[in-house]
Amino acid sequence: MTADTLVGLLLERARAHPDRVALREKEFGIWQRVTWADYLGHVRRTALGLRRLGLEPGDNVAILSENRREWLYAELGAIATGGRAVGVYPTSPAPEVRYVVDHSLAPIVVCEDQEQTDKILEESERLPRVRHIVVMDPKGLRNYTDPRILTFDDLERLGAEEEARDPGRFEALASTVQPDDVAIIIYTSGTTGHPKGAMITHRNILAMTRAMVEACKIVASDSVVSYLPLCHVAEQIFSVFLSVYLGVTVNFAESIRTIQADLREIAPTVFLGVPRIWEKLQSSIVIGVRDAPRWRQRLFRACLARGYRLADKRLAREPWSGLDRLTWWACYGLVFRALQNYVGLRKARFCFSAASAISPEVLRFFHAIGIRVKEGYGMTESSGLSFIHMGDDIRLGTVGRVVPGLEFRIAPDGELLKRGEQIFAGYFRDPEATRQTVDEDGWLHTGDIAELDEHGHLRIVDRKKAILITAGGKNIAPSEIENALKVSPYIKEAVVLGEGERFIAALIQIDYDTVGKWATERKVPYTNFKSLARRPEVRELIAAEVDRANQGLARVKQVREFRLLEKELDHDDDEVTATMKVRRRTIYEKYAGLIQEIYGGKG
């Protein structure tokens, strides 16, 4: 019988396949492998070490780190003692870190290195509950005198001492963990205020994971790459849930900045890319082709045109002729195989995009080169994935069908409601927010406006709070327009405007790397982001990209005016969340003058 908690699943994996590789991570350029037996050993020592430090059932352990093996050891170690793991974004400034650690009441914080430790120490006076600070990489901490600091190795040594004293204690602790216990608390990105801690139980996790395995046909021999923040439920699904449930191998990327090079080296069989990653991969191909010899550019364009035609036929469920198959394999041999190798996804049999909306044109591009990216939809409060394209039933512009075991309906005002075993246990220390989110009948109110197409696929229109109503009374979904703009390799971010106004406008952030490269090739002088954004040649470039995007939009949705931002939107400036979602309210307030300039004299 399959275990019904995460720690029970880990014990199962280690007993069934002790020598099979569970984790892979680079150290000094060499891949280090961790077997399931090793994995369990680290978790056992970590759990007993945390217990030695005084962690009690129901206590929370905050983890402040980039993705690495110790993140998983700390998480599962905390869970095995009856505690809960709370991820904190390592990109967050000290005040945001302090809020999550303080709100979670965590007595123990696990930090990656000196940089993250300094954030805790900087806010130390406002974190009176923190009794211990465990540091994974203690380099640079030799002269730190805070008595609460110990290394992760020290923590495991304490655990080893406990294990030697009582060899069966870990299993005894793990056996007390119940399916309805909260396993992890994930703090949502908080686009409209402070983040809220979503409590997710073992039962929630296993219900969602079973549904995902059935819907996506993921198997134990698959391998994944861990690169999105482990504080986010999307990465938890791949690095933790699927791993311990099936035995999927987890490969740690060196960083999100090196993900393309890492993908080429890891060659995962299953890959989740958030929209920005797919946009960057597409841009890298398009920009790379522009640097190629003319004959290669012509060959690329010719094969891509045929790839689009064949992809459209496949997506429309139209059968391919013999000539179609011959054309495909010719294009694959000449161009597409190399492109798939270039982005590191030639071996990927299941790819999908999730976390926010993506332009169908971006997905269509990847289908054209033979990478059949599916789109999914989920949220923290439903423990992850809720809708996905299944099998060959792919409809671009939708997020597919509901996963097994989950109910849904669309309220009269268009809001998507969900109900089922994977719906979370509520917000930590916020019963009022919980009542506002989950009604008495168990329906989760998502805050997303959705609609069903004629094929029974769900389409997410936008966030309920984000819908714009123009002066003419038209309801406009900003994300549709923003995604159309971000198809351009030269546009990194776009914020659509128009609430109560006569026309649609946008604030646009250029992609510094691609626009900088474009400017250098044309000998357009610039010194930094601001000077580049101010160049008239760049404005002309972006105007052409806006015109291109407008061609695919209804007239009422077309962008009539835009302004280029003279700085990159920054998490530290409270302009985007840790997951790079735009804080619209902040943008509207911060750039009120620019917005007034757009609408001041336009009719």
CA quadruple 569, 572, 576, 580: dihedral positive or negative?
A: positive
Report the pLDDT averaged over residues 554-569. Answer: 94
598: helix, strand or coil:
helix
Strand, coil or helix: 561: strand
Mean pLDDT in residue range 512-519: 94
Q: Cα(372)–Cα(354) distance, rounded to whole angstroms?
A: 14
Q: What is the dihedral of CA 84, 86, 87, 90, to 10 degrees?
A: -130
**Closest residue by Cα to residue 219 from 270, 168, 277:** 270
For the chain, the farthest-separated pair of C-alpha atoms sits apart, in whole angstroms, at 79
Q: Which residue has the tokens 């650690």?
A: 101
pLDDT at 313: 97
For 58-67, the pLDDT digits (tens) are 999 999 999 9
Q: Domains of the chain: which residue ranges?
A: 6-177+217-272, 468-600
Task: State percent of the chain over pLDDT 70.
Answer: 98
The pLDDT confidence band at residue 260, using thresholds 50, 70 and 90, is: confident
Question: First-to-last CA distance in the chain?
Answer: 68
Rounded mean pLDDT of 333-361? 93
Q: Is 321 exposed, middle or buried (0-12, 13-18, 19+ CB in 10 A)?
A: exposed
- The confidence score (pLDDT) of residue 191 equals 55
pLDDT interval class at 222 (50, 70, 90): very high
Contacts of 226 (CB under 8 A, 6+ apart): 67, 235, 238, 239, 250, 251, 252, 253
602 alpha carbon, distance to own chain's centre: 38
Q: What is the pLDDT of residue 102?
A: 97
pLDDT tens per residue, range 11-50 = 999 999 999 999 999 888 889 999 999 999 999 999 999 9
Nearest to 48 by CA among 170, 131, 148: 170
Question: If you average pLDDT over residues 370-374, what whole number do you get?
Answer: 96
Rounded CA separation 598/561 (Å) = 7
Tokens at 90, concatenated: 């390592």
Who's near 558: CB < 8 A, 6+ residues apart?
504, 550
Question: Please, which pLDDT band fits residue 202 given cuts at 50, 70 and 90?
Answer: very high
Contact 191, 583 (CB under 8 A): yes
- Whether the pLDDT of residue 602 is over 90: the answer is no
- Residues ≥6 apart with Cβ < 8 Å to 596: none
Q: What is the pLDDT of residues 415-458, one digit of tens each?
A: 999 999 999 999 999 999 999 999 999 999 999 999 999 999 99
What average pLDDT score do residues 473-477 get? 90
CATH number of 6-177+217-272: 3.40.50.12780
pLDDT > 50? residue 379 = yes
| Residue 139 predicted with pLDDT over 80 | yes
**pTM for this prediction:** 0.90
Instruction: Tell me the average pLDDT across 124-139.
Output: 97
Q: Mean pLDDT over residues 193-197, rounded?
A: 86
468-600 CATH fold? GMP Synthetase; Chain A, domain 3 (3.30.300)
Residues 84-109: what's their mean pLDDT? 96
Q: Which segments of 458-595 are extended strands (E)? A: 458-463, 468-469, 475-476, 491-497, 504-510, 559-564
CA dihedral 180, 195, 444, 380 (to 10 degrees): -60
The answer to whether 6-177+217-272 and 468-600 have equal CATH topology is: no
Whose tokens are 């760049």? That residue is 538
Query: Comparing C-alpha atoms, which of 56, 20, 60 is closest to residue 36?
Result: 20
- 466 pLDDT band (50/70/90 cuts)? confident
pLDDT above 90: percentage of residues in the chain:
85
pLDDT digits (tens, 9 = 90+) for 230-245: 999 999 999 999 999 9
pLDDT at 585: 84
With helix as H, strand as E and coil as C, how does 190-248 read?
CCCCCCCEEEEEHHHHHHHHHHHHHHHCCCCCCEEEECCCCCCHHHHHHHHHHHHHHCC
pLDDT at 378: 94
Q: What is the pLDDT of residue 603?
A: 47
Mean of pLDDT over the chain? 94
Average pLDDT over residues 117-134: 97
Element of type H or E holding 597: helix 592-600
> 247-270 burial by CB neighbour count: b if 16+ within 10 A, else e?
bbbbbbbbebeebeebbeebbbbb
Report residue 438: phi and psi, to 5°. Answer: -120, 120
- Answer whether residue 601 shows pLDDT above 70: no
- pLDDT tens, residue by residue, 290-337: 889 999 999 999 999 999 999 999 999 999 999 999 999 999 999 999
* Measured distance CA(210)–CA(245) in Å, rounded: 8
